[in-house]
Amino acid sequence: MKRISFDEVAKNNVKTGILFFLFFGIVLGLGVLTGIILGNPNTGILIAVVIFLIYSAIAWFKGKTIALSLTGAKKAPQQQYQQLHNVVEEISISAGISKPDVYIIEDTSMNAFATGLKPEDSAVAITTGLLNKLDREELTGVIAHEVAHVKLRDTRTMLIAGVLVGSIILLSDIIFRFSLFGGRERDGRMQLILLIVGVVLILLAPLIGQLIKLAISRKREFAADAEAATLTRNPGGLASALQKLSTQHKKTLDNESQALQHMYIIGPDTKSWLKNLFRTHPPTEQRIERLKEM
Amino acid sequence: MITTLTVIIAVILLAYTIFYNKLIRLKNQVENSWAQIDVQLKRRADLLPAIVTVVKKYAEHEKDVFSYVSNARQKMLNAQTPQENATADASIQSALKSVFAVAEDYPELKADKNFQQLQEEISSTENRVAYARQNYNDLVMKYNTTIESIPSNIISSIHNIFEQKEFFEATEEEKAVPDVKEQL
């Protein structure tokens, strides 16, 4: 088995950078368009930057808290969840990072996720449904996958991606509204062109943003599986957990939210190519196969 | 001409700084991960008195086991050299094994909640020790490779603070499966 993690961190950082500039370009472009509608491109850029900064500040300071509270995660008491705490601690030692906070989601569904901008301020959460179904070895595999996301900075990448998609959606919405009602008086043809551009943008821009985000999410799942195998030196544990998940997993959380799907250890499995384009995770079968080859 | 020279010197200085800092960071990571192993070994030694207390409640007359455990712990606390440390570590491992072997004869002990919790703590500590060593070895490998690779090898040959680190290898005592009966 090859140790890949350090290169993966570097590669991931570069990818985050490229993603960041690409997305930021789209945000600025939309800003310029907003400005044109308002009569001054500079105003539009200013609006775009302000929206982006506000979203970033929220994600930076509250991203972890928001993700945890949206899923209904509660801090797992050490006394009650002794084994879970121990497993998280063991894996963080293996990964050489400080122990993430441990959260529990009281839910019969089976899933787990990690969040946080940096390893020193991160959290892993697991549903009681999953926790009760796994033995210690499988639990170690699942936790290793989540800790790998933290170690490889995937949680940060996805948080930034989320902010940028959010900014794009808000800007497209602004453009759409303004092109409908018009900021200034202008002739009918101009109004029509702007309306068409607005409609195309509101449909297309968020979609492109979403697709970029999903593509990254899928790639990161394989990397996290590989890193989990390296951390535990036991790909079998995670493979067996994924097997259990894929046979018993019917939906993500009861209070399912599409926006959070990419965070979980497993996404809904589907055969349709269109749904495959929108999936957050690679097919579980494929992940298990790769783990078995390690 | 002078500008070209300045640029070349600036680039060399920049590269020097980057690679020097990289080596320092790796060196500190290796040393920190070594300390982490000690932390976990200490944790295991500290669990011993607790497990003895619980076992005593149900199996008071198993005096041999208790003295064996306290000897092993004393060895660990007195250990100075890595060699002594490894020996003490091996005897703690076999001491723990003998405790759990004794527990097999006492169903009430095995059902005790405290005992079960301690059992989980001890097996977790075993894992932690193993993972800490694994992490240490991984970091040593990365550090040693970097020291020998171009261009970091130039910097490591200028500064003699960067020396190859040794891998952790299990001692012969640890590799051998201890015979519990013989030691009692």
Position B123 pLDDT exceeds 70: yes
> In the A/B pair of chains, how many CB contacts fall below 8 A?
38
Average pLDDT, chain A: 81
Give mean pLDDT, residues A20-42. Answer: 81
**Interatomic CA distance for residues A56 and A27, integer angstroms:** 13
Contacts of A89 in chain B (CB under 8 A): 124, 128
Residue B178, pLDDT score: 47
ipTM exceeding 0.95, yes/no: no
Strand runs labelled E in chain A: 73-75, 101-105, 112-116, 122-127
What's the total number of domains in chain A? 1
Assign A3 a pLDDT band (cuts: 50, 70, 90): very low
Q: How far is B129 from chain A (nearest CA, A)?
A: 9
Give mean pLDDT, residues A34-50. Answer: 84
Position A132 pLDDT exceeds 50: yes
Range of the domain at A136: 6-292
- What is the reported pTM? 0.81
Q: Which residue of A has its CA nearest to B120?
A: A83
Q: How far is A143 from chain B (nearest CA, A)?
A: 14
Q: Which residue of A has its CA nearest to B121?
A: A86
Q: Which residue of A has its CA nearest to B118?
A: A82
Residue A121 domain flag: yes
Share of chain B above pLDDT 90, in %: 32
Q: How far is B166 from chain A (nearest CA, A)?
A: 19
Assign A109 a pLDDT band (cuts: 50, 70, 90): confident
Position B163 pLDDT exceeds 90: no
- Are B33 and A96 an interchain contact pair (Cβ–Cβ within 8 Å)? yes
Residue A158 domain flag: yes
Looking at per-residue pLDDT, the higher value among B5 and A261 belongs to: B5
Residue A67, pLDDT score: 84
**Interatomic CA distance for residues A58 and A45, integer angstroms:** 20
Which residues of A belong to the active site? 146
Assign A104 a pLDDT band (cuts: 50, 70, 90): very high
Residue A70 domain flag: yes
Residue A157 domain flag: yes
Residue A2, pLDDT score: 44
Nearest partner of A269 among A257, A287, A292, A293, judged by Cα? A287
Looking at per-residue pLDDT, the higher value among A50 and A196 belongs to: A50
- Are B134 and A6 an interchain contact pair (Cβ–Cβ within 8 Å)? no
- Are A93 and B138 an interchain contact pair (Cβ–Cβ within 8 Å)? no
Residue A1 domain flag: no
The β-bridge partners of A122 are A116
